[in-house]
Amino acid sequence: MTTFLTPQQRADRTLAAVGAAVAAGRGLGLAVTEPTVLHDVFSVVVHLAPSPVVARIPTVLPRPDDLAAIARRQQDELDVTRWLADQRIPVIAPSPLVPREPVQRDGFSMTFWPFVEEARDKEPDYVANAESVADLHAALRAYPGRHLEFLSAADPRFITDSLALLDRHPDLIGAAELDRARREWRLLEPLVRSRSAFEARFPGVDLQPVHGDSPPANIFNAVDGDLYADFELVTLGPVEWDLAALGPEHEAAYNRGARRNGTRPLDEEVLAFVNALGMLRVIATLTLVPQLPELVGYLKPAVDHWRATPFAAGMSS
């Protein structure tokens, strides 16, 4: 049976992350006397008050000890958001008060961002956000930064490792469902691990830098206007990746935005691929439940939905 992190262990992890961020911030010359936790799910996000700086410290990870890999992804995020800000794209860019690079402290790797006041009375409009993502993609097409890995946001190693480990968690997924997930992965894995295999399967579908983590859900409602945020999984891939699992209404909104700015609409076959792949990432994420027990409540509806969908979202072999 699955062994879950206790509430005390979770609190200790948060306290350690905050302590590391405070020490790192002070080491960078920031005044930090009233650290305030703003968010604590997959990352601890702490305002290093009174400095106008927020530290984000990933804490729930497939491989939390691989700080070098975490830092590489963080540097990609820092680089692309700084570039977007230089193009006057509305984005939360790295804090200018510290060096724009990841900082490692006490077993954590963290990044630093400006404190931005949230418009708490504004409800997110995810359909409008989906239309806006077409504008973000249009801007990202010109990103000249260092090479981004093909579909690194899918993290195929994580999926492979997780599907091997889930035998140990029969309380999280049944044997029949796990068998289905493994069979789906055998179909999808070659297209995730090989850019050339993807391009052969989907000829004419261009690849470009994309946000990587459902940008319609990661637009921050700031007091002074909406800002693109949380590029932790920025990757090279098809634009469809950023619309995975959002459904027809959001897809139609994106296509309106694409028509408006002269970029291509979503491809239905690629959508089937990214939807199937996104669902396998949900199944793989079950292995993180011991680190974050409340994930069960978030993941269960998605797993139930996956059970009711066609094999591999209807993709053929």
- pLDDT tens digits for 257-282? 999 999 999 999 999 999 999 999 99
pLDDT digits (tens, 9 = 90+) for 173-218: 999 999 999 999 999 999 999 999 999 999 999 999 999 999 999 9
All structural domains of the chain: 1-115 (3.30.200.20), 116-317 (3.90.1200.10)
* pLDDT reported for residue 46: 98
* pLDDT reported for residue 295: 93
pLDDT digits (tens, 9 = 90+) for 53-74: 999 999 999 999 999 999 999 9
More confident residue, 141 or 121: 141
Give the orientation angle of helix 248-261 with respect to helix 126-140, to 10 degrees: 40
Give the model's confidence band at 315: pLDDT under 50 very low, under 70 low, under 90 confident, else very high.
Answer: confident
* pLDDT reported for residue 36: 98
What's the CA gap between 118 and 239, in Å, rounded? 28
What's the CA gap between 5 and 240, in Å, rounded? 35
CB atoms < 10 A from the CB of 257, how many? 20
* pLDDT reported for residue 317: 63
DSSP designation for 149: P
Q: Strand 43-50 to strand 235-237: parallel, antiparallel, or no bridges (unpaired)? A: unpaired
* pLDDT reported for residue 252: 98
* pLDDT reported for residue 114: 98
Average pLDDT over residues 159-178: 95
* pLDDT reported for residue 250: 98
CA atoms within 13 A on the CB side of 66: 10
Q: Among positive and negative, which fits the CA dihedral 287, 185, 136, 235?
A: positive
* pLDDT reported for residue 2: 74
Average pLDDT over residues 140-152: 91
Least confident of 100-104, 105-109, 310-314: 310-314
What's the CA gap between 121 and 103, in Å, rounded? 34
Percentage above 70 pLDDT, the chain: 99
* Contact between residue 232 and residue 42 where contact means Cβ atoms under 8 Å apart: no
pLDDT digits (tens, 9 = 90+) for 225-250: 999 999 999 999 999 999 999 999 99
pTM exceeds 0.85: yes
* pLDDT reported for residue 1: 63
Average pLDDT over residues 299-315: 92
Query: Quick check: helix, strand or coil at residue 283?
Result: helix
Question: What's the CA angle centered on 38, arms 36 and 40, to 5 degrees?
Answer: 115
What's the CA gap between 74 and 232, in Å, rounded? 6
